[in-house]
Amino acid sequence: MKAQSFTQARQAAPAAHHGHPHESARLHVAGEATYVDDIRELAGTAHAALGLSTQAHARIVAIELDAVRAMPGVIAVFTAADIPGTNDCGPIIHDDPILADGVVHYVGQPLFAVVADSHEHARRAARRAKVSYEPLPAVLDPLQAKAQNSFVLPPMQLVRGEPAARLAAAPRRLRGSWQVGGQEQFYLEGQISYAVPREDGCIHLWCSTQHPTEMQHVVSHALGLAANQVVVEMRRMGGGFGGKESQSALFACVAALAAARLRRPVKLRPDRDDDFMITGKRHDFHYEYEVGFDDEGRILAARIEMVARAGFSADLSGPVATRAICHFDNAYYLADVDIRALCARTNTQSNTAFRGFGGPQGAVAIEYIIDSIARELGRDALDVRKLNFYGGAGRDLTPYGQRVEDNVIHELVAELEADSAYRERRRAITAYNAGSPVLKKGLALTPVKFGISFNVAHYNQAGALVHVYTDGSVLVNHGGTEMGQGLNTKVCQVVAHTLGIALAQVRATAADTSKVANTSATAASTGADLNGKAAEDAARRIRQRLADFVAQRHGIDADAVRFADDHVHAGAVAIPFAECVQQAYQARVQLWSEGFYTTPGLSWDRSTLTGRPFYYFAYGAAVAEVLVDTLTGEWRLLRADLLHDAGNSINPAIDVGQVEGAFIQGMGWLTMEELWWNKDGRLMTHAPSTYKIPAAHDCPAEFHTRLFRNSNHEETILRSKAVGEPPLLLGFAVLFALRDAVTAVGDGRSAPPLRAPATPEAILDAIDAVRAACAHTAAEPQP
Amino acid sequence: MNTDAIRLLLNGEPVDVTGIAPTTSLLAWLRIHRGLTGTKEGCAEGDCGACTVVVGELAGDTDSLRLFSVNACIQFMPALDGKAVFTVEYLRRQAEDRLHPVQQAMVDCHGSQCGFCTPGFVMSLWDLYNACVPDGTRPDAARISSQLTGNLCRCTGYRPILEAGQRMFEHPAQALDREAVRAALLRLRRSEALDYAHDGAHFFAPRTLEALIELRSRHPQATVLAGCTDIGLWVNKQFRDVGDLLYIGQVEALQQVVEARGRLRIGAAVSLSDAFAALCLPYPELGELWERFASPPVRNAGTLGGNVANGSPIGDSMPALIALGAEVVVHGPGGRRSLPLEAFYLDYMRKDLAADEIVEAVEVPVHESALRFRSWKLSKRFDSDISAVCGAFALRLEDGVVRGPRIAFGGMAATPRRALRTEAAIDGRRWDEDTLTAALRALAEDYAPLSDLRASADYRRRTAAALLRRFYLETRAQDPLDAQQTRVFAAFDSFAAQP
């Protein structure tokens, strides 16, 4: 294992562009970082648990709750009828009941909440309800939903050029179907909300959420309160990954409902199984595609229909499908395309945001197609990928009409290809496979281009508050939420950098809807871009006031005042920052400020799916080498090489952590993480005992990660680039390395039908398919 | 009601505990009753490691201090009577309010992102640190990975945490005062067996086998408890009322591993860690299975006797034990009886065990002549995953002819079961491709597996055959393949050789 390539200065580390530890690192390791369940409970705190549907689709004939009420410690039971306001917590379309009313739409849907004197009592009581159902027909498969024309939203389609004609005219064509599975977020800290009633009907809510403002809205709607009666506070999450963007709402609403009704504090912490059963996951996608290409592998036209499992309600499926459409191109110029996306309504959990937000599902499809083209032609897949990259005359316009102006994919891939010794290893692997009867190696390099910004323009805004206190210490509050990604660290770095003070002088507070209002979700990788800029704006306003004050006092021009090294420099005079602040206070200078930011230049036409949805693109590439057992389908990742573009990184250590973590998470999605529903629509993989995310041995022994030397050509915060989601797509390399290894079982020319997640069973199925195909021409190669 | 108090050492301080249900988990007690919220609940089933703590106990004739990691979410409080519990909060205290070297290394390596799993990782690393610091050894990368297989991290991808496992030794050593802990535990030692009761539910912790047998016949409805790694889930996940608990973890006689007359006798209360360590000496072929069997905290708490007595169709120890010809020793009021392990399992979760009997030991023959033996499991993940299929194969070759084959599978039927048709198809025949073909045909007749979340019936059938083929490739007389040619996990075979 090699050390990473960011440098650690020994002294006087600069605030920005330096690998500072996470602002909570010392608290994390000491067990002193406070999550919602760690907040000292107020006296009289009660605990809620949810009673869940056991049916995938049914009319509720009766709910018998007397047995629940009779259980030890039970205080109250609430159903939909007890909600004074709107029984809905849907983020966009209002089709998400908080508690089921009349009909249940999936196994796991909450029917009622029981409140008891302890978590344990509430959980036990919740199991005692007797519900009689009248079953209704359930649709459990997205393709079945498509066949029945059952969608949560109208179909979306983006067409450019004349794909049908160009496909018909193409010298070569491939068509097929494929699928990738869903993925549970598996944040280590589950969903949780703790609601405390305050005076005059107000509610204070601690909630593990990526979207405090949305929680404020849904709680106020559910309880019939004004927004100014609900305060949502969020210090940190134990992971979010998209799963706490919209879907923390149900828990927030139930905790708030119970607290308001009982006039006592109520905490709702579903246990891990309930969390899995209730909440939505990454959408699984099913594809039908056709591609036309030339003899070298250059794509001439492509057509794809993507069917996403939306689940029982819309939730964020619309924007997810939009992002899938906008990432089908990945790093490739597709001249004539027809991209269609359908959000299938199924009687399963309502699928939602998960790191990448449809982007990975869009991009992985074109990678599968290109990989298939390469195998069809007997070419190295990397060569076919390069041939299709954006770049060159007339090859820089995305299907949705945005010009790719910051393209670095050629340089980035060339650098990784050389650094990872891709060609030498390709030769070595070919030789190994020729002499290895049972085990086969595979190698793949896959690129990433990922658009940064919310597709919906108005979400691209942020606010911040910076307070400079008279001792020179600084407190920053902003609209983003800390879920482990290091947002608070970066925002503190920006503020320290702007004020020319040491990072240790700046502290970030909890996100709080009573401080910065009308915040956007911390999502779409935009947290640091938006909130960093807003905090910079606030810090600059204070800096300007200090500069004016110092300039006047020392008789120099305000523009000549510099802020650096914990001092304010006015010509030859250097005043310690704290002293300067004290003087300014005495002179009645305002030492706190708000800041605000909106991303410039965005446009999006929802009807045509065209415009400029993204401020810029982030790039990356990964090389993976795997070893596959052709008898059982078991495999190991032997080595991974990652090169990722984080622009001029604010914190290279944190960004490397994001890149590595996203790569492993993307690998997990495409290999071992399998969601499995039984024939009754019950999710049977609902805890870490049955749902397997990568563990320690899945980290490759040889793992090289570097950040690509780059600067954002747009004027982003300190010229950095967003890094949360894009590197998740680096995990593609593992899937295609597995496919490469499977191909080695046959003649090298057939493209194995390897579905994802590529579990050992899926890999063995693909191996058997290759062997069956080869059996037509030759005897089956058996060790 | 008069009851014994549970007495334990919490972060170095003696504590008496009463007034909680015997099934109260250590995690709930730490968080709710003691306000020690550094230890987190991630899953409440021993699979994520966010609740990892370190337990210390006196062991052996010399009362030496043994330290090991466990999952606090599935430890019942009375089982910790007489033991020391260390939580993440202890480390900073030990380091006089500075960060402990384990913690500092985690900060230096950027080993935390969201931080929720971090205390669990810190405690798993501290367990390793304590094992290495006294004698100045340094773990290699493989051992650090192995130590952390029970801790899930969703943010980092593990690389920085694994690096911290090496870097933690670069700081000035912060050795635990083991003698002080040992002395404190000696002071806690009680003269009589613990009888803890709350709200009508008892927790008995007899010291002798006689007392255990006597209690068992008096309380045939009680639940026999060993490592709590399964029964903890009955309570946490299924809300089962387990009634009175009869804890075997304090019975001296059940804690021993004895080798005599060509048999390894493993007491029912011997942990999986110790049991595998003992089994891997004569059978290093078990190394990969050991590595993949649950995780260190589960292996440290759980017992081989419990795995066997529980009799899950997918228990990973049974196929290997059956293939090796292990016997289970059952003890009741009428005395002992032994039976072949495969005969112990009657049907799905049904065993040849009377209500007043307990499993006392597992006896495994130590074969003198060269036994060709392998046991492998298949699952979606290498670490800590329940197997789709687990197979074990044992035979001798005499002049190229198969003698006395024993083949068993888990995950292929309602119980772990021998492949009798397959054995018959190869016994007495040359170990060659033709025999393999016959064996594969027979194997298809031996089992009718089911489809479930772990694998389809078809995959189970195909890979049971694949494992048999792999066994053949590695053991055939002509041109056998070595592990490096047949197994992607072969590197882990060296695990068994580790101290």
Interval A591-606: pLDDT, tens: 999 999 999 999 999 9
Residue B474: pLDDT band (50, 70, 90) is: very high
B151 interaction partners in chain A (CB closer than 8 Å)? 696
Mean pLDDT of B255-269: 96
CA–chain centroid gap for B338, Å, is 23
Q: With a cut of 60, say whether residue B122 has pLDDT above it.
A: yes
Q: Which of A199, A725, A761, A780 is catalytic?
A: A725
Same-domain pairing of B169 and B185: no
A178-235, pLDDT tens digit by residue?
999 999 999 999 999 999 999 999 999 999 999 999 999 999 999 999 999 999 999 9
- Best of B100, B159, B161, B316 to disrupt the A interface (most A CBs within 10 Å) is B159
Sign of CA dihedral A660, A662, A666, A671: positive
**Residue B136, C-beta contacts closer than 8 angstroms, at least 6 positions apart:** none
Please give the distance of CA B242 from its chain centroid, rounded to a whole number. Answer: 22
Does A78 have pLDDT greater than 70? yes
Average pLDDT of the residues in B215-228: 96
Residue A420: count other Cβ atoms within 10 Å of its Cβ: 23
Q: Report which secondary-structure segment, H or E, holds B204.
A: strand B201-205
Residue A493: pLDDT over 70: yes
Does the pLDDT value for residue A720 go beyond 80? yes
The SS3 call for residue A668 is helix
User: Are B274 and B229 members of one domain?
Assistant: no
Which of A282, A294, A289, A443 is CA-nearest to residue A366? Answer: A289
Q: Find, among A613, A550, A618, the residue nearest to A581 by Cα.
A: A550
Q: Which long-range contacts (CB under 8 A, 24 or more apart) does B231-235 make?
A: B231/B76, B232/B25, B232/B45, B232/B46, B232/B73, B232/B74, B232/B75, B232/B76, B233/B45, B233/B46, B233/B74, B235/B23, B235/B25, B235/B76
Q: What was the pLDDT predicted at A778?
A: 55
Q: For residue B471, what is the domain's CATH number?
A: 3.30.390.50
CA–CA distance, A283 with A301 (Å, rounded to integer): 26
B469 touches chain A (CB under 8 A): yes
Q: How far is CA A760 from the centre of its chain?
A: 26
Question: How many domains does chain B fold into?
Answer: 3
Looking at the fold, whether B337 and B428 belong to one and the same domain comes out as yes
**Span between the terminal Cα atoms of chain A, in Å:** 34
Q: Reply yes or no on whether the pLDDT at A4 is more than 50.
A: no
A290 is catalytic: no
Over the stretch B442-467, which tens digit does the pLDDT of each residue have?
999 999 999 999 999 999 999 999 99
Contact B196, B6 (CB under 8 A): yes
Question: Least CB-CB distance to B462: which of A697, A699, A764?
Answer: A764
Instruction: Respond yes or no on whether ipTM tops 0.90.
Output: yes
- Asked if the structure places residue B298 within a domain, the reply is yes
| Angle of CA points A741, A745, A750, to nearest 5° | 85
- Mean of the per-residue pLDDT values for chain A? 96
Point out the residue among A30, A654, A688 whose CB comes nearest to the CB of B47.
Answer: A688
Q: Does B145 touch chain A (CB under 8 A)?
A: yes
At residue B295, the pLDDT reads 97
What share of chain A has pLDDT > 90, as a percent? 95
B495 in any annotated domain: no
Average pLDDT, chain B: 95
- Cα–Cα dist A425/B172, whole Å: 41
A618: β partners: A450
DSSP-based helix, strand, coil % in chain A, nearest 5:
35, 25, 40
pLDDT at B499 over 70: no
Q: Considering B222, B247, B272, which residue would you say is the last residue of a domain? A: B247
The answer as to whether B35 is a domain residue is yes
Query: What is the token pair recorded at A212?
Result: 């405090």
Question: What's the average model confidence in pLDDT over A767-781?
Answer: 77
Shortest Cα distance, chain A CAs vs residue B115, angstroms = 5
Best mutation site among B53, B85, B99, B116 for testing chain A: the one with the most A CBs within 10 Å?
Answer: B116
Indicate whether B50 and B197 sit together in one domain: yes
Contact B453 A439 (CB under 8 A): no
Instruction: Indicate the residue type of B454.
Output: R
Q: Rounded to an integer, what distance in angstroms lies between the CA atom of residue A722 and that of residue B114?
A: 18
Is residue A127 less than 8 Å (CB to CB) from chain B?
A: yes
| Beta-ladder partners of A722 | none
Is B498 a domain residue? no
Distance CA A700, CA B154 (A): 16
Assign 3-state DSSP to chain B and report helix, strand, coil percentages, each to 5. 35, 25, 40
Q: Are both B365 and B444 inside the same structural domain?
A: yes
Contacts of B381 by beta carbon, 8 Å cutoff, 6+ apart: A672, A692, A694, A695, A698
Contact between B160 and A660 using a beta-carbon 8 Å cutoff:
yes
pLDDT at B493: 47
Last residue of a domain, one of B153, B173, B193: B173
Q: What is the chain A residue with the closest CA to B152?
A: A695
The answer on pLDDT for A781 being more than 60 is: no
Spatial strand order of the sheet with B358-365 comes to: B257-260, B263-267, B358-365, B327-332, B335-340
CATH number of the domain to which B229 belongs: 3.10.20.30
Q: How confident is the model at residue B2 (pLDDT cuts 50, 70, 90)?
A: low
Chain A, window 609-648: residues with a beta carbon less than 8 angstroms from a chain B beta carbon: 627-629, 631-636
Location of structure tokens 């120099």: A556
B493 within a domain of the structure (yes/no): no
Please say if the pLDDT value at position B441 is more than 80: yes
Q: Is the pLDDT of residue A530 over 50?
A: yes
Q: Are residues B275 and B197 in the same domain?
A: no
Same domain as B363, residue B456: yes
Shared-domain flag, residues B290 and B425: yes
pLDDT of residue B496: 40
| Statement to judge: residues B329 and B206 lie in one domain | no
Pure H helices in B15-115: 26-28, 88-94, 101-108
Q: What is the pLDDT of residue A1?
A: 40
Tokens of residue B258, six digits:
């004895």
Flag if A656 and B487 touch (Cβ within 8 Å): no
Per-residue pLDDT band at A724 (split at 50, 70, 90): very high
Tell me the pLDDT band of B212, cut-offs 50, 70 and 90.
very high
- Rounded alpha-carbon distances, angstroms, from residue B91 to A569, B48, B119, B123, B246: 44, 21, 10, 9, 33
Range of the structural domain that residue B331 is part of: 256-486
State whether residue A19 sits within 8 Å of chain B by CB.
yes
Tell me if B407 is assigned to some domain.
yes
A336-390 residue pLDDT tens: 999 999 999 999 999 999 999 999 999 999 999 999 999 999 999 999 999 999 9
Q: What is the mean pLDDT of residues B100-115?
A: 98
Q: Which residues, in sequence order, are CB contacts of B161 under 8 Å at separation 6+?
A: A696, B106, B109, B111, B121, B125, B148, B153
For residue A11, pLDDT over 80 is answered with no
Instruction: Supply B403's token pair.
Output: 């003698």
Per the listing, tokens 């499991």 go with: B377
pLDDT tens digits along A400-427: 999 999 999 999 999 999 999 999 999 9
One-letter amino acid identity for B228? Answer: C
Q: With bands split at pLDDT 50, 70 and 90, how would you rate the model's confidence at B311? A: confident
Strand B245-247 relative to strand B223-225, pairing: parallel
Query: Is residue B95 domain-resident?
Result: no
Q: B334 and B264, same structural domain?
A: yes
Q: What is the rounded average pLDDT of the residues B235-264? A: 95
Q: How many CB atoms lie within 10 A of CB B425?
A: 23
One domain, residues B267 and B336: yes
Would you say the pTM of this structure is higher than 0.95?
yes
- For the sheet with B389-398, list strands across it: B372-378, B389-398, B401-410, B417-418
Please say if the pLDDT value at position A5 is more than 60.
no
CATH of the domain at B106: 1.10.150.120
User: In the block, which residue shows the tokens 């490759």?
Assistant: A700
As beta bridge partners, residue B202 has B197
Half-sphere exposure of A257 (CA within 13 A, CB side): 33
Last residue of a domain, one of B223, B247, B271: B247
Same domain, B118 and B147: yes
* Domains located in chain A, CATH noted: 410-451+602-783 (3.30.365.10), 461-598 (3.30.365.10)
Q: Which amino acid is at A602?
A: L
Q: What are the structure tokens assigned to B9, written together?
A: 């050492």
Q: What gap in Å lies between CA B29 and CA B50, rounded to an integer?
A: 15
Tell me the backbone φ, ψ of residue B433, rounded to 5 degrees.
Answer: -60, -35
Is the CB of A187 inside 8 Å of chain B's CB atoms? Answer: yes
B440 occurs within a structural domain: yes
